[in-house]
Structures are given as C-alpha cells and as structure tokens.
C-alpha cells in the first residue's frame, strides 16, 4: 500500500513562506474554485490556506533557537477527521492514503475540523465548505506535466529543499530514508493519529576534540614550538636515510 | 472552543423537548399501572405539541450551523461511523414518534392492543410512548456522543457528558411538564414537580462532578509534542497570519478566564439553585424560564471550556 506524505526538515527551513504562497497560488487557480480571501488589502486580512509557516522560539535568551514550522494536513494514517464526517465528504483514499474533502458533498458543519487535533482544516467562508491540503492531487498524477514537476507545489517552491515528498510506506523511498536516518518524528503522537507527514528535527553537527588531540601525546616535554630548522649545509632527511 | 449559538440552542431546545416527552410518558405509565387516575388525553396531546415545538425550533437552529444547509440531507449517509449522522437520523424519527403519540391522543384513537397478566392494559399510545422513550434516550446519547467521542477534547471525552445531557434535558423537560400540568392536569402536578426537583438535583450533581473532573484535567498535548522540540520553554513568535484565521475564530471563545468563572456561577444558580427554590414554591412556569436561561449559559460554558489542542499552534501573533 502506498502512503504519500511530506517530510519537512526543520533543520533547513528558513521560514521564507515560499511554500505558502506557492500552495495558495496553485490551489486558488484550480478547477475546485478559489481559496477565498477576505479583506486582502485591508486592516484585517483573512483567508483560507492549506499550509502555514509558523515561527517558534525555543529556549531562553541567549540560548534560543528560532524554529520555523510549516504546518499543513498530515494525511494521518488513522485520521480522526474522517469517521466523524456525517456526509462522507471527508475520506481517505485507499490507493495513496491522501485525505481529501469532496467539496460537492460537504455541508460545512465543521465537525471534522473539531476532530483534527492539528488545526489543519479551514473552512472557506465563501464556498462554505471545508478545505485542507490535497497534496496537490491535481498535480502529482498529471501526465501532461514533465515528470520532475509532478510534485506538490510547496515542494517545488522550497528554496532550501526542506520539503520532501514521497511514499512513506516504501522503505527505500527518499522520504523513508530521511525519516529513518535523520530522526523523523510525527506531531502529537499521543493521540494515535499516526500522521503520515513527518518532521526532521534541528540537528547540530558537532566536532568532538579530545584533550590528547590538542596537546601532542608524543611530545613528552610538552614543549610546543617550531622545531629547529637545520642549516642548509646540514644533511637533510633524504641525505640521512640515503646514507 | 467558540460556542456557536446555533448549537447552544439546538442542544438545549431538543433537550427540553425530549425531557417533556419523557415526562408525558412517565405520567401515562403511572396511569397504565393504575398508580394514578387516567389523564384527560388533551394533556398528552397538548404536551406532545409543545414538545414537538421545541424539537422543531431546535432543528431550525441547527440549520444555522451549516455552511450549506441545502445539502443537509446528505448528512444521514455515514451513520455507521459518525454520531452526528446518527443524530440527524434519530432526531426526525423521534419527532415522528412524538407526532404520532400526540395525534393518537388528540384523535382519541387508542385501541387496546393486549392485556398483560396483571390486568395492565397495553394501549396504542403506550406502545408509541415506549418507542418514543427509546428514541428520546437514543437522541440524548447521539447528541452527547458527538462531543464525548472527540478524544482530544478532554473536557468532553467522559461518560459524564452523556449522563449530563440526559439529566439536564430531563430536568428541563420535567420542569416544563410541571408548568403545563398546573393548568391542564393539576392532579399530576405534584408527581411531576417531585420528579422535576429530583432530576434538577441529580443534574446539579452530575454537572458539579464534571466541573470537578475538568478542573483537575492535565492537557495531554503541549507545545513540545505539537512541534516536537524538547524544551520546557517554547514561545510562539508568528502564526503564519496576522489578521486571524478560521483557526483563531473557531477554537477560541475570546473571553477572559474571569468571565468564564462568572458564567459558571451564573449557570449553577440559574439552572439548579433557583429552579429548585421556585419549584418548591410552586412557580413551575418561572422555574422553567429561569432554568432554560441557566441551561443556555451552561451550554455556552460547556463549549467555551473545551480546550482544543490545535490552540497550541495559535498562541501568539507578534
Ligand atoms: S492532519 Fe488533521 S485533517 Fe489531516 S488527516 Fe490528520 S486529522 Fe485529518
Ligand atoms: S464540514 Fe464537510 S467535510 Fe467536514 S465533517 Fe462536515 S460535511 Fe464532512
């Protein structure tokens, strides 16, 4: 079975919001209708987004780290948002594990958004139906696109390659390897939703230098300094060994 | 959560309607077993009409919750998995039962269907009432389970939610029945008033128990698990939007903790203490109105108190 998902590398995300704008551009232009905005140039702009980048400060000054945190639907393997939907508008596809909303069936009761612990679903105030990340289901299978473009718009847009896309059930896929080798983790594991999307943590590359590497162990007198330079007339090492 | 008035009205109105129907059937059962003199069927017919009125009003309120009310019929599809879908099916079924029960009494069409061994007559309305009672309880369970089944809304995820929906709806229905009986069936006013007081007291206990439970809840999620950074101090610096979003509107009540505390005391007084006093004083009509206002506050508080884990991602704008 296939489970498509994103892996987001917090170690390299710089919080540029390119994925947000790219997602919005692609998904507001499709046949499913716009992702409505209200008051876009006014004092209180608001609108529907599939993907948002948030910023958190971890730690206490001066030992702080700024973590940029992109957040979208995690395409949970046990999605709590699906069984609660009274109409069947919310469903999880068997073939690739993508969780989708059928905008033609949704009655806008918002119950699924209550049932998602991650706040990944947002209602479109214009169309009055629930919307969420589709993993660009209208891109990734589009044979009219060159193969390299058959990826979610956010993945294509990320300038630091912080977003990987692939099948997390295939142990040899790029995403599975990234999760396995770089400590990928799911969000809020305590609810048993088994998110398909994973995050890679901040990682520090540390060089460990032992003391005996700083002070030469083969220098018993602990005298560091330049070795006396032999005069030009003295025999060189080559002369010595070639005696 | 942000309390939606459509849902506050839906749950309180149908609760009163269900309770009223249960009260009517209680009286009929007492009469069937010969514990009370039989009632004028006008009392049952009128009571059913009032109960139906509350149910219809609740149904109308519920439509205001939907973004696409014209598609509401679709919501009966997933009754196998969704409590909301089950409620959508049981509510009209219960309304149908109340309607038939009221019509049968109104038309005086009440043939004797069977006689139980101890000479207890089983009449048509008794059977209809039994069916209605089952549906009334099923509806209480469906309505409450919509909230109780959401495991990460820890304030709701408890059997107390179901118990309290039954007790609160039952109490307000019995108080309403007491008020109606004062005029239409004075002989049973004492009985109904007694039950109304018992149910109100039980509902008070149940609600107090859930208040105590929720006061000691420890949230299972924290920012640490929400973003996966293992540090006790994590502060949000940006939430991806500055003008608010669905996430900031739907899941926050936007009031101060002090306001919430006030609402709690208001509903404890209005829904329980005052109605008990008024019932004891024989002012059932006033008791119902006061209690209904209290229940509106109670339901508002029920929603506002629930703390959704998604709120962890919406702690600051800056
Ligand atoms: S992240 Fe939320 S909306 Fe997406 S599948 Fe999981 S529970 Fe459903
Ligand atoms: S808002 Fe739409 S998708 Fe969500 S539970 Fe209601 S009908 Fe289903």
pLDDT in tens, A128-184: 999 999 999 999 999 999 999 999 999 999 999 999 999 999 999 999 999 999 999
pLDDT of residue A210: 83
pLDDT of residue B35: 83
Residue with CA nearest ligand 1 atom 2: A116
A103, A33 in Cβ contact below 8 A?
A: yes
Is residue B309 pLDDT above 80, yes or no? yes
pLDDT of B106-159, one tens digit each?
998 888 888 888 778 888 999 999 999 999 999 999 999 999 999 999 999 999
Q: Report the residue from B71, B88, B244 with minimal CB separation from A46.
A: B244
Determine the structural domain holding residue A117 and report its residue range. 4-200
Residues B272-283, mean pLDDT to the nearest whole number: 95
B-chain CB neighbours of A195 within 8 Å are none
CB contact under 8 A, A119 and B310: yes
pLDDT of residue B41: 84
Is B203's Cβ below 8 Å from some Cβ in A?
no
Structurally, chain A folds into a number of domains equal to 1
Higher pLDDT, A121 or A205: A121
C-alpha distances (whole Å) from B111 to each of A176, A189, B42, B104 are 71, 60, 17, 10
In the structure encoding, which two tokens stand for residue B33, read together? 């077993």
pLDDT of residue B16: 97
- ipTM score: 0.93
CB contact under 8 A, A83 and B72: no
Is residue A235 pLDDT above 80, yes or no? no
Lowest model confidence (mean pLDDT) among A22-36, B24-38, B78-92, B249-263: B24-38
In 3D space, the residue among A36, A70, A37 whose CA is nearest the CA of residue A55 turns out to be A70
Binned at pLDDT 50, 70 and 90, residue A41 comes out as: very high
CB contact under 8 A, A84 and B82: yes
How far apart are the C-alpha atoms of A198 and B257, rounded to whole Å?
35
Binned at pLDDT 50, 70 and 90, residue A239 comes out as: low
Report cis status (omega within 30 of 0) of the bond before A62. Answer: yes
Q: How far is A62 from chain B (nearest CA, A)?
A: 13
Size of interface A-B (CB pairs under 8 A): 176
Please check whether residue A227 lies inside any domain of the structure: no
Please check whether residue A235 lies inside any domain of the structure: no
Nearest CA in chain A to B223: A188
CB contact under 8 A, A55 and B236: yes
How far apart are the C-alpha atoms of B264 and B258, rounded to whole Å?
10
User: Ligand 2: distance of its center to the CA of A111 in Å?
Assistant: 6
How far apart are the C-alpha atoms of A93 and B15, rounded to whole Å?
38
B100, B120 in Cβ contact below 8 A?
A: no
pLDDT of residue B10: 97
**A215 dihedral zone (left: phi>0; alpha: psi -120 to 50; beta):** beta
Lowest model confidence (mean pLDDT) among A221-225, B77-81, B265-269, B313-317: A221-225
Beta bridge partners of B121: B115
CB contact under 8 A, B67 and A188: no
Is A20's Cβ below 8 Å from some Cβ in B?
yes
In 3D space, the residue among B24, B27, B163 whose CA is nearest the CA of residue B102 turns out to be B24
Residue A38 is inside which H or E element, if any?
strand A37-38
How far apart are the C-alpha atoms of A197 and A54, rounded to whole Å?
17
Q: How far is B78 from chain A (nearest CA, A)?
A: 5
First to last CA, chain B: 22
* CATH domain B5-217+246-312 topology: Formate dehydrogenase/DMSO reductase fold (1.20.1630)
Is residue A243 pLDDT above 60, yes or no? no
Report the 10 Å Cβ neighbour count for B284: 26
Burial of B61 (C-beta count, 10 Å sphere; 0-12/13-18/19+): buried
Is residue A242 pLDDT above 80, yes or no? no
Q: What's the farthest any 2 CA atoms get from each other in chain B?
A: 76
A-chain CB neighbours of B228 within 8 Å are 10, 185, 187, 199, 201
Is A52's Cβ below 8 Å from some Cβ in B?
yes
Residues B31-42, mean pLDDT to the nearest whole number: 81
Q: How far is A75 from chain B (nearest CA, A)?
A: 16
pLDDT of A70-109, one tens digit each?
999 999 999 999 999 999 999 999 999 999 999 999 999 9
pLDDT of A5-23, one tens digit each?
999 999 999 999 999 999 9
Pocket of ligand 2 (CB under 6 A): A 85, 87, 89-90, 101, 106-112, 130
Is A111's Cβ below 8 Å from some Cβ in B?
yes
Helix (DSSP H) and strand (DSSP E) numbers for chain A: 7, 11
pLDDT of residue A90: 97
Is B77's Cβ below 8 Å from some Cβ in A?
yes
pLDDT of A171-220, one tens digit each?
999 999 999 999 999 999 999 999 999 999 999 888 988 877 777 677 77
Q: Report the residue from B225, B243, B247 with minimal CB separation from A119.
A: B247
DSSP-assigned letters across all residues of B176-222 = HHHHHHHHH-HHHHHHHHHHHHHHHHHHHHHHHHHHHHHHT---S--
Please check whether residue A11 lies inside any domain of the structure: yes
Residue with CA nearest ligand 2 atom 5: A85
pLDDT of residue A22: 97
How far apart are the C-alpha atoms of A75 and A98, rounded to whole Å?
6
Percentage of residues in chain A with pLDDT exceeding 70?
94
CB contact under 8 A, A83 and B78: yes
Residue for token pair 């142990």:
A171
Nearest CA in chain B to A43: B243
Residue A124 is inside which H or E element, if any?
strand A122-124
Which B positions 150-179 lie with beta carbon below 8 A of chain A?
150-153
Residues A18-30, mean pLDDT to the nearest whole number: 95
How far apart are the C-alpha atoms of B103 and B166, rounded to whole Å?
26
Task: State the CATH number of the domain containing residue A103.
Answer: 3.30.70.20
Please check whether residue A217 lies inside any domain of the structure: no
Binned at pLDDT 50, 70 and 90, residue A241 comes out as: low
Long-range CB contacts (within 8 A, 24+) of B89-93: B90/B135, B90/B138, B90/B139, B90/B142, B91/B14, B91/B55, B91/B58, B91/B59, B91/B139, B93/B135
Mutate one of A8, A51, A54 to test the B interface: name it (highest B CB count within 10 A): A54
Q: Report the residue from A49, A89, A115 with minimal CB separation from B150.
A: A115
In chain B, where the domains are located:
5-217+246-312
Residues in chain B: 318
Please check whether residue A84 lies inside any domain of the structure: yes
Please check whether residue A208 lies inside any domain of the structure: no
Beta bridge partners of B122: B114
Is B246's Cβ below 8 Å from some Cβ in A?
yes
Is A188's Cβ below 8 Å from some Cβ in B?
yes
Q: Exposure pattern of B22-60 as b/e (b: 16+ CB <10 Å)?
A: bbbbbbbbbbbeeebeebebebbbbbbebbbebbebbbe
In the structure encoding, which two tokens stand for residue A40, read together? 């876009």
């Amino acid at each position: 079975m296939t489970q498509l998902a994103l892996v987001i590398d917090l170690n390299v995300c710089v919080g540029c919001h390119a994925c947000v704008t790219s997602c919005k551009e692609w998904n507001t232009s499709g046949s499913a209708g716009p992702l409505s905005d209200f008051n876009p140039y006014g004092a209180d702009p608001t609108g529907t987004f599939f993907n948002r980048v948030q910023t958190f400060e971890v730690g206490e000054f001066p030992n702080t780290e700024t973590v940029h945190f992109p957040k979208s639907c995690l395409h949970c393997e046990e999605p709590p948002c699906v069984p609660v939907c009274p109409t069947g508008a919310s469903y999880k596809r068997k073939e690739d594990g993508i969780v989708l909303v059928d905008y033609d069936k949704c009655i806008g009761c918002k119950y699924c958004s209550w049932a998602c612990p991650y706040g990944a679903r947002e209602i479109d105030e214009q169309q009055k139906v629930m919307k969420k990340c589709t993993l660009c289901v209208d891109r990734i299978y589009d044979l009219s696109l060159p193969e390299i473009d058959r990826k979610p718009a956010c993945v294509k847009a990320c300038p630091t390659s912080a977003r990987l896309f692939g099948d997390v059930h295939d142990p040899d896929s790029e995403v599975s390897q990234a999760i396995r080798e770089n400590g990928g983790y799911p969000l809020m594991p305590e609810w048993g939703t088994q998110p398909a999307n994973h995050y890679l943590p901040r990682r520090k590359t540390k060089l460990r230098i032992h003391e005996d590497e700083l002070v030469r162990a083969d220098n018993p007198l602990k005298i560091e300094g330049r070795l006396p330079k032999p005069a030009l007339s003295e025999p060189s090492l080559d002369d010595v060994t070639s005696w | 959560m942000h309390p939606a008035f459509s849902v506050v009205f839906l749950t309180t109105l149908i609760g009163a309607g269900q309770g009223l129907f249960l009260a009517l059937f209680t009286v009929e059962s007492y009469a069937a077993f010969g514990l009370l003199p039989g009632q004028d069927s006008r009392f049952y017919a009128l009571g059913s009409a009032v109960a139906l009125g509350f149910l219809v009003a609740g149904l109308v309120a519920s439509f205001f919750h939907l973004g696409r009310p014209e598609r509401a019929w679709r919501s009966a599809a997933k009754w196998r998995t969704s409590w909301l879908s089950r409620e959508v099916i049981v509510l009209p079924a219960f309304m149908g039962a109340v309607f038939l029960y009221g019509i049968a009494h109104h038309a005086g069409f009440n043939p004797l269907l069977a006689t139980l061994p101890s000479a207890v007559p089983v009449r048509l309305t008794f059977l209809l009432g039994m069916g209605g009672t089952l549906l009334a309880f099923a509806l209480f369970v469906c309505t409450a389970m919509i909230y109780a089944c959401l495991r990460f809304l820890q304030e709701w995820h408890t059997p107390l939610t179901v118990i309290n929906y039954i007790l609160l709806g039952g109490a307000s229905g019995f108080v309403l029945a007491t008020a109606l009986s004062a005029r239409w069936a004075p002989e049973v006013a004492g009985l109904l008033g007694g039950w109304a007081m018992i149910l109100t007291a039980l509902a008070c206990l149940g609600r107090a128990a859930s208040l105590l439970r929720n006061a000691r809840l420890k949230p299972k999620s924290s920012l640490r698990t929400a973003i996966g950074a293992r540090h006790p101090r994590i502060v949000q610096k940006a939430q991806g939007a500055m003008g608010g979003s669905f996430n900031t509107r739907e899941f926050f009540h936007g009031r101060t903790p002090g306001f919430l505390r006030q609402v709690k005391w208001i509903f404890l007084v209005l829904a329980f203490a005052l109605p008990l006093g008024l019932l004891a004083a024989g002012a059932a009509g006033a008791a119902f109105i006061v209690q209904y206002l209290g229940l509106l506050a109670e339901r508002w508080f029920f929603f506002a108190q629930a703390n959704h884990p998604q709120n962890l991602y919406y702690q600051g704008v800056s």
